[in-house]
Structures are given as C-alpha cells and as structure tokens.
Structure 1
Amino acid sequence: MRDWLKAFRPASFRGVPFFVEVEEAEGGRRVAVSPIAYSDLHVTEDMGGQVRPFVLSAYIVGDIADASTRSFIAALNAPGPATLVLPMLGPVLVRVPHWRLSRELGRAGYVGFEIDFVSAGLASLPFAAVPGAFAIAAKIAAGIDILASAAAFRMRDVAPGQAAPSAIAAASAAALMATVADAAELPAEKRPAIADQIATITRLSAEPVAQAGPIAAAIVSTVGAIADVASPAEAVEAFAVAAVPAGNDVFGLVAAAAFATGFCQTLAAGDYLSRQDARRARDRISPVVDPVLEALAAGIDVAVSEWLGEIAATAASDLSAVAANRAPLVSVQTEISLPATALAYALYGDAGRAGELVRRNSVATPAAMPISFEAIAP
C-alpha cells in the first residue's frame, strides 16, 4: 500500500515552509457561447484558459510558531510573483491577492491561514512589434510550471551528497544569464530587476535538490524577462547554442530550453522590412532549437520538448506570415554612383529612407552609393 505521508511534497512559498490542511485549485476554459437565431444549434468559441486560482487552508505549528509566522507573513506580503510548492500539484508561479490569519487561545503554537493564490501570468502586456512575440511570451510564462515540475521530479531521488554537479549547473546557468544580460542592449530601468532574479538563482543553487522547482522556474522567468527587452536577437542566439549541456543535468537542460524559447521570442519581435529578411529570420530557428530538442529527448520530461516545439512552430509560422506580407528585395543598378538621399527619393519618393539603403548595403559613404545595391521593392 502506498505511504501517503511520503507521497506529497513539503509545501513552501518563497522558500518559507508551512503545512497544508486543504489544497484547492480551479481551472477550465473561457468558452463564449453564441446562440443562432431560429435554430436549436449554437456556436462555442474557445477564448483561452481561465485564470487559475489556488486556495489553501494552511498552518504553522511548533514551539517557534510565532517567529515562523512572521517569516511566512513577510513572504506573503512581498511584491512580485514567486514559486509556491503545493503538496500534490507541485511548483507553480503565483501572486498573493489575499490572505487571512487566525490564532486561538486554546491552540498555543498553532497559527492557521486561509490564503488565495493566483497564477502569476505575464508581468505586463508586452506590446511587441509582431503579434507572434506576444503569443510566445505567453507560452514561455505558461511553461514555467512545466519546467519547475519536471526539474523537481528529476531531482527527487538525488541524495544531497550527490548534488554537487547539479549545483554547479544551476550556478553556471545564472552566470550565463548574467553574460547574456550584459551582451543584450537592456533598458537601464530593467537591469536591476533582472540582476536580482539572477542573484536569486545563484543563491538557490546551493540547495539544488530542495530548491529544484524554484531554480527551474527562476531560470525560465529570467530568460523570458531578458527576451522581452533584448536587442538584438543575436545576443540571445549565441548563448542559446552555448547553453546546450554536454551531459543531461537537469538545470543545464532547463537553461538550454529557456534560451531557445527566448531566442524564438526575440526573432518574432523583430522588425522585418522585406520578405527575404523575415525568411532569413525564420531559417535561423531550426539550427538553434533542434540541438536543444535532441538534448531534451533523453534527459527531461516530454512535456518540455512539446512546449519548446510549440514555441518554435509559433515563431516559424508568424515569420512566414510576415514574409508573405512584405515586399521583396530587388537588385538596383545605376550608371553612376549617386547619393543615398537621391536614390531613396527616386525609389520611394522619400529621401528619409536613405539610411535604410546605407544600412542594408553596409555603405561607408552615404554620399557615394555603389552602382549595384539591394533595396526593398517600391
């Protein structure tokens, strides 16, 4: 018979442990129902998933219940999303809209809580250059729970004395993210928050077994935060390839998957002026994603591979749609060398597009364009 006392995970929030009396969750789809006039039929349309609430009856108990309660309250009141480890459902990234404490005189050393959690979702609505970037950002956020659960499951049987390689892999992932953040042109106002997230991963890496879920969740959310604002895509691309681990350590695999999805997001957010530009961007997806999928196949839950594959497919499909709606590149020949402003006016009736011609053809002297160059078809 199964030992149910050992079947469930120890509950925690922001790393602060507590006990759970009742664990409740809800889910479902937002379905729009449209009746058809003069008919017994109707139309149902799937509008996406419902916001997932989690309701817990929790408690703190013991001789130091008062001190532990203060720590738990601080965790509940702290701003921003954080990882909640549920006994049965595992790690999820959540926010805390409401909690309530109760203490009874006749139950000294016992403090009860009723807590409402809600899945974290996106930090803000990213108005991306291309709609596909928004869809990918949403998929990355949705995958945080998937990777956290997969990492926690993989690490469950690892003895603390055998966890040194995993600790190194988690710390290496944090260091790699710090390098990417430095290489990417991140807005100054975003850098402190991302640096704090990276520091959290480094701190958690000291306990790779106990903190496996939170480490994986933090890796994915941090790479997603970098990808939201990274420019150019090359800053993420190089490290997506470098992140593929030689072995199959779980945190190396999580980092590789996270960087691959971040690269897909930065590509989808790009601004492609010509059909060929969008197609070239689409063709960059496979060389980055395929090695990661191959590594994931042997080392982590299949749901992670499916998640990455879906994001790559979304990026490829979106870039194909962009390509179909852009003008092609053409080769322009002139008898003599002319200034870029004159050529831009002749081609587009807009001398302001001279910089576009200069950048596309890597011209050092805008006043003297080559007699053969590339331009977007008028």
Structure 2
Amino acid sequence: MRDWLKAFRPASFRGVPFFVDVENAEGGRRVAVSPIAYSDLHVTEDMGGDVRHFSLSAYVAGDLADAAARSFTAALNAPGAATLVLPMSGPVLVRVPRWSLSRERARAGHVGFEIDFVSAGLPSLPFAAVPGALAIASLISAGIGLVSDAAAFRMRDTATGQADPSALAIATAAGRLSSVASAAALPELKQPEVADAIATINRLSTEPVAQAATVAAAIVSTCGAIADAGDPTAAVEAFEAAAVPAGGDVFDLVSAAGFAAGFCQTLAAGDYLSRQDARRARDRISPVVDRVLEALSGGLDVSVSEWLSDIAATAASELSATAANRAPLVNVQTEISLPATALAYALYGDAGRAGELVSRNSVATPAAMPVLFEAIAPVT
C-alpha cells in the first residue's frame, strides 16, 4: 500500500515552508468561438494556453506559529516572481496577486491562509516589444529557482556515500562551462565573474546532496551569464556542442538543460542577413533541444521540461519573425569574373558590402568572384 505521508512534497514558497489543506489548480486553452450566421455550425480557434492559477488553503502551526506566520507573510508580500512548491504539482514559478490570513482563538497555534497564485509569465517591458533574446534571458533567469528546486527534490533521498556520480557530474558541468566561456569571447570585465562562478561550482561538487539547489542554480545562472555577455556567433557553437547529456545523473540533466537554454538565447541573438539564414538557424533548435527534453523525461520534474520547451518556442518564434522580415538569397550569374567591390556596387550601390559576398561564397580571391554566386536579393 502506498505511504501517502511520503508521496507528496513538502510545500514551500520562496523557501518558507507551510502546510496545505486544499490544493487547487486551474488552466486551459484560450478558445475563440465564432458563430456562423444562419448555420448550426461554429468555428473555434486556439489562441494559446490560458494563464494558470493556483489557489491554496494553507496554514502554519506549532508553538512558533506566530513567527512562522510573519515569515510566510513576508514571503507572500515580497515583490517579483518566486518558486512555489506544491505537494502534488511540484515546483512552479508564480506571483501572488492576493492572500488572506485568519486566526481563531479556539485554535491557538494555528494560523490559516487563503492564497491565490498565478504563473509568473514574462516580465513586462513598457512601450517596447520584447526582443527574442531578451525574452529568453528573462525566462532563463526566472527558471533558476525552478531548476534548483527540482534538483534538490531529486537528491533528497540520496545517501552521502552514494553521491559520487553526482560529484563527478558537477565537475564535468564545471569543465564544460569553462570551455563554453572560453569559446564565447566574453568581455574582459565579465570573465572574472564567470570564472568565479565556475570555481564555486567546482568547490561545491564535494557536497552534491547538501548543496544540490545551490549548485543547480549556479549552473543555470552561469549559462545565462555567458549567453548574455558572449559573442552570439562564437557562443552558439560552444553551447550547441555542450548541450548533450553526459549521463543520467541529476546534474548531467541540469547542465544539459542550462546549455540548451543558452544555445537558444545566443541563436536568437544572432544577426541574420537573409531569410534563409534565419530559417536555417531556426531549424537548428529542435535537434539540440529535443535530445535534452528526451533525457529530462522522468529525470527531473516536468516543470523543467516545460521551462526549456518555452525557451525553445520563444527562440523559434523570434527567428520566424526575423525570417519574415529579411530579403531572400538569390543566385547571381555574370558572364565574366568580376571583383567583389564591383559586384557589391552593382547589386547594392555600396562597394563596402564586398566582404559580405566574399564571406558568403567562401571566395579566396575577392578580385575574381565566380561567375555564379549567392547574394542577398537587392531591395528594389
């Protein structure tokens, strides 16, 4: 028979524990219904997922219930999104639009709460669209607590003597972070910060059970820091090579998810001159992210997979929008070989774009372009 006392997770918000009497969740799809005049039929259109809501009847209890209530109230009142760990649903990133407290004289040592949570979503940027890379950076930052909670939950029953594989996985993750940071051409001012974060991860590898949440948070946040500051062209290749699960350990999965998220951000931040360039970049997402999602299945909480899927979807959407606003590539044929500068001026009225033609066609001698070459279609 199942031991229900151990079946569910301890509830917490911002790391503050509490007890749950009733746990409710609400979600769905935003479906637009359009009736057809003079017909018994109608049209339905899926407009995307609805906002997820969670409502709880919670309480704190014991001789220190008054102090626990103050701590919990402070956590509920704190600004910004934070991780809510629910007994059945697991960790989720939320905000708190409303809560209420009640205390009864007849129930001394018990303080009850009624709380509404709403899934965090993206932070707002007033008066401006959210560029894809910036939106992904926000998602990575918002998911740090979620990933760290999932890692800590998976490590909770690991005996200290059985944690050697996790210590090795953390050291491997630190080594991969060093390689990615070196390849990403970080600015000099950013290098000490990233190096210090990687050194901290290495140092904490000796305590994989006790420091599980801290290590997981450090891995993901360091991936985000490299993606924010690194050169997108150089970093994207390094992230792609690193986003391969090295094994089935919790920290192998955490690092693979972090590297895949960084890959999506740097891919979305790239500069794509043609429609085909942006489409090719978009097509690189699935092969990298899908293999990580497959490894995550059953290895970490489903919320981590949802987080990474949201990042991949945001990157794909950004690259699709970029492709729609770029000129296509065309094949240009000339009767004789001409210098790149002459061709650039003939196509674009700008001889300075000769380097673009040389680079795109991998030409060794700019003074003699091939008679058939690829170029971005000129604007007419």
1:37-48 → structure 2 map (5 Å cutoff): 37-48=37-48
> Higher mean Cα deviation, 344-353 or 301-310?
301-310
Hey, what does 2:330 align to over in structure 1? 328
Aligned-partner residue type, residue 95 of structure 2: R
- Deviations, residues 21-75 of structure 1 (Å, cap 9, x unaligned): 2212111111111011111111111111111111122222223334333333333
1:1-378 → structure 2 map (5 Å cutoff): 1-124=1-124, 127-128=130-131, 151=151, 154-155=154-155, 157-163=157-163, 165-166=165-166, 169=169, 173=173, 184=184, 223=223, 231-274=231-274, 277-278=277-278, 281=281, 284=284, 288=288, 292=292, 322=323, 326-328=328-330, 330=332, 337=339, 340=341, 342-351=342-351, 353=353, 356-357=356-357, 360=360, 369-372=366-369, 375-378=375-378
- Deviations, residues 293-322 of structure 1 (Å, cap 9, x unaligned): 675579668997899789879978997994
CA contact (8 A) 1:241 1:256 kept: no
SS at structure 2 position matched to 1:370: coil
Say if 1:82 and 1:298 are closer, same or farther in 2 by CA, change over 3 A: closer
CA contact (8 A) 2:93 2:146 kept: no
Deviation, 1:115, is 2.1
- Deviations, residues 310-357 of structure 1 (Å, cap 9, x unaligned): 98799789979949972235476865647x3x5432112345645644
Deviation, 1:120, is 1.4
CA contact (8 A) 2:170 2:251 kept: yes
Q: TM-score, normalising length from structure 1?
A: 0.70
Say if 1:115 and 1:312 are closer, same or farther in 2 by CA, change over 3 A: closer
Say if 1:82 and 1:201 are closer, same or farther in 2 by CA, change over 3 A: farther
SS at structure 1 position matched to 2:59: strand
Query: Which ranges in structure 2 are unaligned for 5 or more consecutive residues?
Result: none
Query: Which ranges in structure 1 are unaligned for 5 or more consecutive residues?
Result: none
> Higher mean Cα deviation, 351-360 or 314-323?
314-323
Q: TM-score, normalising length from structure 2?
A: 0.69
Aligned-partner residue type, residue 64 of structure 1: L
Aligned-partner residue type, residue 72 of structure 2: F
CA contact (8 A) 1:151 1:251 kept: yes
Distance 1:359 1:31 in 2: 48
Say if 1:370 and 1:43 are closer, same or farther in 2 by CA, change over 3 A: same
Distance 1:83 1:27 in 2: 18
CA contact (8 A) 2:273 2:327 kept: no
SS at structure 1 position matched to 2:232: coil
**What percent of counterpart residues are identical?**
73
Deviation, 1:196, is 12
Distance 2:144 2:179 in 1: 22
Say if 1:242 and 1:249 are closer, same or farther in 2 by CA, change over 3 A: same
> Higher mean Cα deviation, 343-352 or 291-300?
291-300
- Deviations, residues 159-213 of structure 1 (Å, cap 9, x unaligned): 355345436645764785687578657899x99x999999999999898658868
Say if 1:164 and 1:35 are closer, same or farther in 2 by CA, change over 3 A: same
SS at structure 2 position matched to 1:80: coil
> Higher mean Cα deviation, 44-53 or 316-325?
316-325
Deviation, 1:239, is 3.4
Distance 1:34 1:233 in 2: 45
CA contact (8 A) 1:237 1:288 kept: no
Aligned-partner residue type, residue 85 of structure 1: V
CA contact (8 A) 1:83 1:214 kept: no
Distance 2:76 2:203 in 1: 20
> Higher mean Cα deviation, 20-29 or 142-151?
142-151
Aligned-partner residue type, residue 267 of structure 2: L
Aligned-partner residue type, residue 328 of structure 1: V
CA contact (8 A) 1:334 1:371 kept: no
Distance 2:124 2:53 in 1: 19
CA RMSD of aligned residues (A): 5.3
Say if 1:280 and 1:115 are closer, same or farther in 2 by CA, change over 3 A: closer
CA contact (8 A) 2:53 2:117 kept: yes
Say if 1:332 and 1:205 are closer, same or farther in 2 by CA, change over 3 A: farther
Say if 1:111 and 1:309 are closer, same or farther in 2 by CA, change over 3 A: closer
Aligned-partner residue type, residue 47 of structure 2: M
